[in-house]
């Protein structure tokens, strides 16, 4: 597959995922209009998402360790695993938000400001990081090392921030879940 076609596919995937997430967050579409019709396993997805994000954070740190040690094979394997787990996270996230379950943060005072700052930066950077991850992954798999390095300078810290703040958001909001 040539780079132009790959770029188009990555762009389309990124736009479609962004649209789906925005639609689900805005509660325009409810796959399960009645809370009683939501399968019980769906209520455990936020915890699963936090576990996936936390695992990806650790794997991203391992990836950095391996590349600093010039262990390209281990670096590649860890990144493939991180990519798979992040993809599972995205599917799980979409399933959960397709239910229309509302989650409201109940903290008060300055912690509320901290929570919303973390949440807003997490959401914005999560939208930005998807195409960066896809392009970085593509360049890495194709062993286009210089292009990969240039992209990863931006992708890595954003992806790591998103995975870490995903866990923080879960820890902060989970006491206020009403399901």
Is 3 within a domain? no
Is 4 contained in some domain? no
Inter-residue contact 82 to 54 (CB < 8 Å) = no
* 29/120 Cα distance (integer angstroms): 22
- Within a domain: 10: no
Q: Is the pLDDT of residue 95 over 70?
A: yes
H/E stretch holding 15 reads helix 3-25
**97 falls within a domain:** yes
> Per the structure, how many domains does the chain have?
1
Which residues constitute the domain of residue 126? 41-176
Q: Quote the percentage of the chain above a pLDDT of 70.
A: 93
pLDDT averaged over the chain? 91
Q: What is the average pLDDT across 59-75?
A: 97
In terms of pTM, does the model score above 0.95?
Answer: no
In a domain, 113, yes or no: yes
Residue 171 and residue 164: Cα distance in Å, rounded?
11
Q: In this model, does residue 99 exceed pLDDT 90?
A: no
**Structure confidence by residue, pLDDT tens digits, 5-44:** 888 998 899 898 888 877 776 666 655 566 677 888 999 9
Indicate whether 7 belongs to any domain. Answer: no
Could you tell me what percent of the chain has a pLDDT over 90?
68
Is 34 contained in some domain? no
In a domain, 31, yes or no: no
* Structure confidence at residue 97 (pLDDT): 83
């Amino acid at each position: 597959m040539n780079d132009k076609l790959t770029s188009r596919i990555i762009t389309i995937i990124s736009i479609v995922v962004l649209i789906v997430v925005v639609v689900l967050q805005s509660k325009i579409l409810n796959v399960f209009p009645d809370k009683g019709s939501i399968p019980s396993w769906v209520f455990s997805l936020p915890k699963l998402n936090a576990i996936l994000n936390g695992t990806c954070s650790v794997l991203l740190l391992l990836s950095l360790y391996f590349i600093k040690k010039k262990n390209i094979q281990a670096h590649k394997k860890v990144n493939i695993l991180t990519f798979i787990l992040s993809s599972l996270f995205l599917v799980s996230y979409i399933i959960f938000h397709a239910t229309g379950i509302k989650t409201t943060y109940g903290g008060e005072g300055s912690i509320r400001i901290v929570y919303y700052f973390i949440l807003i930066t997490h959401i914005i950077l999560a939208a930005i990081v998807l195409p960066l991850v896809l392009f970085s992954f593509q360049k890495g798999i194709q062993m286009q090392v210089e292009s990969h390095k240039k992209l990863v300078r931006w992708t890595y810290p954003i992806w790591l921030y998103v995975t870490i703040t995903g866990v923080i958001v879960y820890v902060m909001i989970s006491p206020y879940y009403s399901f």
